[in-house]
Amino acid sequence: MAVKIRLQRHGKKNYAFFHIVVADTRAPRDGRYIEQIGSYNPNTNPATIVLDFDKALAWLNVGAQLTLVTRRILSYEGVLLRKHLQGGVAKGALTQEQADAKFEAWKAQKDAKVSAKVAGIAKDAAAKVKAANEAEAKVNEERSQALAKKKAEAEAAAQAAAAEAEAEAEAAQEQEASEETSAEA
């Protein structure tokens, strides 16, 4: 029986996540499987991969074939490197301690790279929020200046109207006074 390590699709339309399964090649994509060894969620940034490292390595050692995507996932997690190093130990090219040291160095480098990416994403998100806040503050300042200008114009118009009304009232009083003086004479 030919066995493959492949992905099994789950989730909603346009929002899929996958189980990493070991299945018979004749079984349908989302059908029967032998064992589930992990999950893969490409919707997060960076993609979330949960993998049982030892089970994946054991299946590779007994001859399970990989699909293209699962090959990339297992390579990303270091399963293929570990298998390669174990082959070197079996052939006598290096000792187990050397293989472990090489794997740990690679794992540390990869973890640093992933944490740098996560930090970069967080920094970019913070920069976007800061830029949005600055743009909002600028718009609010422009609005407040426009409102202050309108208020000053309204006050000036009100003062002009009050001065005009006062001038009319004085003119009316002068006219009444002149009419009274002409009526007395």
Reading the chain (185 residues) residue by residue, the pLDDT tens digits are 689 999 999 999 999 999 999 999 998 888 899 999 999 999 988 899 999 999 999 999 999 999 999 999 999 999 999 999 999 999 988 999 999 999 999 999 999 999 999 999 999 999 999 999 999 999 999 999 999 999 999 999 989 888 888 888 888 888 887 877 777 76
pLDDT value of position 38: 95
pLDDT of residue 171: 84
How big is the chain by its Cα radius of gyration, in Å? 40
| Residues in CB range of 8: below 8 A, 6 or more apart | 18, 19, 20, 21, 23, 29, 30, 33, 36
**Spatial distance between the Cα atoms of 31 and 60, rounded to a whole number of angstroms:** 21
Q: What angle do CA 93, 94, 97 make, to 5 degrees?
A: 165
Q: Which backbone phi and psi does 118 adopt, to 5 degrees?
A: -65, -45
149: burial class by Cβ within 10 Å (0-12, 13-18, 19+)? exposed
3-class secondary structure, 126? helix
Architecture label for domain 3-94: 2-Layer Sandwich (3.30)
Structure confidence at residue 185 (pLDDT): 61
Give the pLDDT of residue 169.
85
73: which residues sit within 8 A by CB, 6+ positions away?
A: 20, 40, 49, 51
